[in-house]
Structure 1
Amino acid sequence: MPLPRTVSFVHTLLADHVVEGASVIDATMGNGHDTVHLARLVGDSGHVYAFDIQNEALKATAARLSDEQLQARVSLIHDSHASMHEHVSEAVSAIVFNLGYLPGTDKSCATQATSTLTAIERALTLLAPGGLLLIVIYWGHEAGVREKQALEPFVAQLSPDQYRVLRYEFMNRVNPAPYLLAIERFSH
């Protein structure tokens, strides 16, 4: 079996981790691919909280959910991922971030290091024991480089007594390849 591409690996990790009835967060809904994947995984008894600041993202995600008849499993929230704690009070079993900009739209409207770091800090407080936080970093643009520079030292200093942190990256690409930072909270 070939090594999975980064986003495929994220979906594999989520499929192995998220169970029916779970509550999860898609911190950057974008075009809705992760939101739909999570909605399938949580089943009718689970729930997905999906965030984005762009109307185009909410419209695209709503259309995908409608096509799959999954709207009842998802709350689409028109707000920054840095405000997730204002909308979600329960512990969640998984949180996924796909950083960068919405494909096919204005590249200047990209996630930013300051709000993303705040969002990651808040995400860790919502993550249930045994929970999984997945962050895909696209660093082939200026804002992505700044996010990479802010997030790597932050996740590297997380307590090894509380978290396991993995970096999944293809090293021999000519252009900066997106990579995954996966954080698992210990269940003890």
Structure 2
Amino acid sequence: MNLAKAIAINKLRSGDTVIDATMGNGNDTVFLAGLVGKEGKVYSFDIQDIAIENTEEKLKSANIFSNVKLIHDGHENIDKYVNEKVKLVMFNLGYLPSASHEITTKAETTITAIKKSLEVLDRDGVILLVIYHGHDNDKMERCAVEKLASNLDQKEYNVIRLEFINQMNNPPLLIAIEKR
């Protein structure tokens, strides 16, 4: 979703540390690495071998090596790998395009990942959740994410939800959580 990328461009500076919580085909990992530059750091998570392979190939094509750590693990384990404050965490929830639709992000692990992301999120940092909700599991995940986000303390977080109202077939929505 271009709005999520626009927020990332506005928030990030060279040298920042970020997390791509759902590596997928590597597009966001490469995008974020470009924004934080060689002085920054990107932690990128996925459970699928094909995601790691696709992302490695994209990073090689973009000549990006030193500042990206590809992690073959679920985003619910962020705390095992990230021990520093981050400026941004990006999630694309759903399934990996052009791969099995049976393998999707799940409400339980996503909620755990969001809670752990909130712990490492720096002041004025943001969590971006692009939610694709085309089938039953995705709808449950959307409800769980919306419930968590809507119950965050307004004194600590600003939370917005942006969604298309003129598109059919379950268009994605964006939830952004900014730490005050």
Per the TM superposition, whether the score is higher than 0.5 is yes
> Which whole-Å CA distance do the structure 2 matches of 1:134 and 1:94 have between them?
8
Kindly state the Cα deviation for residue 77 of structure 1 after the two structures are TM-superposed: 0.2
Kindly state the Cα deviation for residue 20 of structure 1 after the two structures are TM-superposed: 0.2
What secondary structure is seen at the aligned counterpart in 2 of 1:146? helix
Quick one: which of 112, 118, 122 aligns to 2:116?
122
Quick one: which of 10, 13, 17 aligns to 1:16?
10
Is 1:173 aligned to residue 167 of structure 2?
yes
**1:125-164 maps to which residues of 2 (within 5 A)?**
125-164=119-158
CA RMSD of aligned residues (A): 0.6
> Which whole-Å CA distance do the structure 1 matches of 2:4 and 2:166 have between them?
20
Kindly state the Cα deviation for residue 63 of structure 1 after the two structures are TM-superposed: 0.4
Identity between Structure 1 and Structure 2 (%) = 42
Counting matched residue pairs gives 180
> Which whole-Å CA distance do the structure 1 matches of 2:168 and 2:25 have between them?
26
Quick one: which of 91, 95, 115 aligns to 1:97?
91
User: Any runs of at least 4 consecutive aligned residues in structure 1 with deviations exceeding 2 A, and if so which?
Assistant: none
Quick one: which of 50, 56, 61 aligns to 1:56?
50
TM-score normalised to the size of structure 2?
Answer: 0.99
- Given residue 161 of structure 2, which amino acid in structure 1 is its aligned partner? R
Is 1:35 aligned to residue 29 of structure 2?
yes
Which segments of 5 or more consecutive residues in structure 2 lack a partner in the other structure? none
Which segments of 5 or more consecutive residues in structure 1 lack a partner in the other structure? 1-6
- Given residue 90 of structure 1, which amino acid in structure 2 is its aligned partner? E
Is 1:79 aligned to residue 73 of structure 2?
yes
Kindly state the Cα deviation for residue 174 of structure 1 after the two structures are TM-superposed: 1.9
